[in-house]
Amino acid sequence: MSDYAIEALDLVKKFPRRAPAEQTPAPKNPLARLFHRPPPGEFTAVDHVSFQIHRGEIFGLLGPNGAGKSTTIRMLCTLLEPTSGTARINGYDVVREANRVRQSLGIVLAGERSIYWKLTGRENLEYFAALYHIPPEVARRRIDELLDYMELTSRANELVEKYSTGMRQRIVLSRALLARPPIILLDEPTLGLDPQAARRIREMVLDLKRQGHTILLTTHYMEEADQLSDRIGIIDQGKIIALDTPSALKQRIRQQDVIKMEVAGWKPEMAEAIQSLSGVSQMVSRYLEQDGIWEIHLQTGNSRAILPRLIEHVNTNGTHLVNLNIVVPTLEDVFIHLTGKALRD
Amino acid sequence: METTLSSGTHLTSLSRTTGLAQLRAFGAIIWREYLHFVRYPTWVIAFIIWPILFPATYIFSSFALAGPSGVGVTRFLEVAGTDNFLGYIVVGTSVWMWANTLLWNVGFALRGEQMRGTLESNWMTPTSRFLFLLGSGPVHAVSMLMFFLFTVVEFRIFFHLTFNANLFSLLAVFLAALPALYGLGFTFASLVITAREANAFVFLVRGIVMIFCGITYPLAVMPPWMQAVAEWLPPTLIIRAARLAALNHASLEVIAPDLVRLLAYGAFWLALGYLTFSQIERRARLKGALNQY
Ligand SMILES: Nc1ncnc2c1ncn2[C@@H]1O[C@H](COP(=O)(O)OP(=O)(O)OP(=O)(O)O)[C@@H](O)[C@H]1O
Ligand SMILES: [Mg+2]
């Protein structure tokens, strides 16, 4: 048995880049279109990613849209072959020992369409138990146990299309747990769920850790990563740019003050003026649609020194400050500190 | 949460890959296909309306051509070797439907899963990926037997059509057709999940094949070069042999030459289909074509 549950070494995934449609129109003739190839080019979705996850650990992969989280997961679960680099799951190589890897893993990919809506919850689990090569008697007991655990027993014989999104996600999670795999990969497990359903999934993740499972989870919710993960890898544009425990990551900007302002009538030109104030190290802005105001995040070495000038700058030409707080740094601020941009926009 | 899941400190997977387990997975795939089949109500239309609707246009135009006193039928008898033109058309169209249904259910099995969003959840299990293709056919091949039953009954009632069938020969035709149809299906299935444009191409092929293989007319009415092409198309042989078995009570010896050729084509297409699938499956893993529609 390997020391690590999951080991990624210099993983790289390049995809053929498709040229924008208007540049190279596909031929009209269907036969010609079949053999038509867009001009070659490559796009690096995952760029030399390495990490090691201990047994029994929850590891969070945090990053914005398009960072390469799902691509990393797909390589680990044998759906994609790495362009270069290697990965081991439970000690098995993801390319050469793909079947062992599949036996060791339970996987939740993003999206609720990964189960059959025209089958009942129980039928879905029976079907996948057979695909996972679980002996029938074992499977039967396991399915009852899982349905019970997920509080789905009373609805188990209804078609999945009648379920709520949260119930579907619990079936998807049950499927991942069918083989009682030592390692579980969760790609955005709470995406699209209402807050209550999301909280329930998060509780289950913690419970699974207590039962001894190793969990790799991706998310772009920093609260989720913070709350669940023992360690976090921050990924941006295919690269891991920081990897540590949540508190250690936040320690990195301990010397920084984080100022959060709400501003009405903000003009993008003002950004330059504020960024050039001495002492401002990072600034990101985002428009809050429902309130019609702008939220401005600033990081600075010394908030006391810049506050007067900052307020003066903001309260000009019909722009005015609605609210200002000096806040405790979150993982999002760590991300802003590292990349100069917001995790979500 | 009151219930907790049973587990020890050292978790070992319950997954045990054996030949028997693969076989059970294969059974589960067929079972899933069956459940989908019965839960989409379109099968009612497929069974009750299509048998009569699909051949209807051909039948009425053939009535027109035959003339009120049936003088046109002599010419038909000359080229087709039977004066039962109604039976000729019905067997042609329903066998074509059978072959088509099987071929396209296999051919679009992966594409359907891909669009539904379930392809990846199937492919990340330890079940052999080829089984997903193999398992998509049987339900449809068998369900079409129901289709034939409806065809026979409906034409008995509405057109007083009678068949003179050798059921044993007919069954042999269907069995001999399976390898070729599966092989073609594997090939198409592999193409349509990676090349977006393959869809259009496949429909084009289907349209062309339909003209060549003589669904409602004897091959002899086509120019010689088309007849030569038709001989290479499995559906031509399936339809020809099925007609002899269903209308002329042909024994196995009579249709044997066509069946042997069908099996030979089958061996070729199965090999090609398997190779294409293995290639494409690898390509999809390298290029990431699986999760893109
Ligand atoms: N099969 C593919 N072919 C080509 N490009 C791809 C493919 N899959 C992903 N990409 C691209 O690779 C990049 C990384 O995608 P990925 O899905 O891994 O991001 P992510 O971190 O999961 O983002 P999200 O939060 O949106 O799910 C994106 O720019 C995406 O467009
Ligand atoms: Mg993703």
User: What are the structural domain ranges in chain B?
Assistant: 42-287
pLDDT above 90 covers a percentage of chain B that reads 29
Backbone torsion region of residue A79, taken as left when φ is above 0, otherwise alpha when ψ lies between -120 and 50, otherwise beta: alpha
pLDDT of the residue at A22: 45
Nearest CA owner, ligand 1 atom 31: A66
Rounded to 5°, angle at Cα B153 from B150 and B156: 145
pLDDT of the residue at B1: 42
Q: What is the pLDDT of residues B106-157, one digit of tens each?
A: 888 888 898 888 999 999 999 998 899 999 888 888 888 888 888 888 888 8
Is the pLDDT reported for residue B242 higher than 50? yes
Asked if residue B286 has its Cβ within 6 Å of ligand 1, the reply is no
What residues of chain B lie within 8 A of the CB of A175, using their CB?
A: 121
B36 touches chain A (CB under 8 A): yes
Q: How many residues does chain B have?
A: 293
pLDDT of the residue at A92: 95
Distance CA A67, CA A87 (A): 19
Q: How many A from CA of A171 to the centre of ligand 1? A: 25
Which pLDDT band holds residue B266 (cuts at 50, 70, 90)? very high
Stretch among A203-217, B49-63, B181-195 having the lowest mean pLDDT: B49-63
Q: Which of residues 184-203 of A touch B (CB under 8 A)?
A: 203
Is the pLDDT reported for residue B22 higher than 70? yes
pLDDT of the residue at A68: 94
Asked if residue A80 has its Cβ within 6 Å of ligand 1, the reply is no
pLDDT of the residue at B291: 67
Residue A241 · residue A338 · CB < 8 Å: yes
Is the pLDDT reported for residue B8 higher than 50? no
pTM: 0.85
Which pLDDT band holds residue B2 (cuts at 50, 70, 90)? very low
Distance CA A300, CA A243 (A): 23
Ligand 1 atom showing the smallest separation from residue A16 Cα: 4
B149 half-sphere exposure, CB direction, 13 A CA radius: 6
Residues 6+ positions from B54 with CB-CB distance below 8 Å: B93, B94, B97
Residue B168 · residue B252 · CB < 8 Å: yes
Residue type, A158: E
Residues 6+ positions from A334 with CB-CB distance below 8 Å: A234, A242, A249, A250, A252, A253
What are the tokens at B251? Answer: 């024994």
Nearest CA owner, ligand 1 atom 1: B288
Q: Which of residues 207-236 of B touch A (CB under 8 A)?
A: none
pLDDT mean over B214-230: 86
Residue A90 · residue A182 · CB < 8 Å: yes
B172 half-sphere exposure, CB direction, 13 A CA radius: 21
Q: Which of residues 223-262 of A touch B (CB under 8 A)?
A: none
pLDDT of the residue at A39: 60
Ligand 1 atom showing the smallest separation from residue A235 Cα: 21
pLDDT of the residue at A27: 64
pLDDT in tens, chain A (345 residues): 567 999 999 999 999 876 554 455 566 666 666 666 656 678 899 999 999 999 999 999 999 889 999 999 999 999 999 999 999 999 999 999 999 999 999 999 987 789 999 999 999 999 999 999 999 999 999 999 999 999 999 999 999 999 999 999 999 999 999 999 999 999 999 988 889 989 999 999 999 999 999 999 999 888 899 999 999 999 999 999 999 999 899 888 877 888 888 988 888 788 888 888 878 888 888 888 888 888 888 888 888 888 888 888 888 878 888 888 888 888 888 888 888 887 765
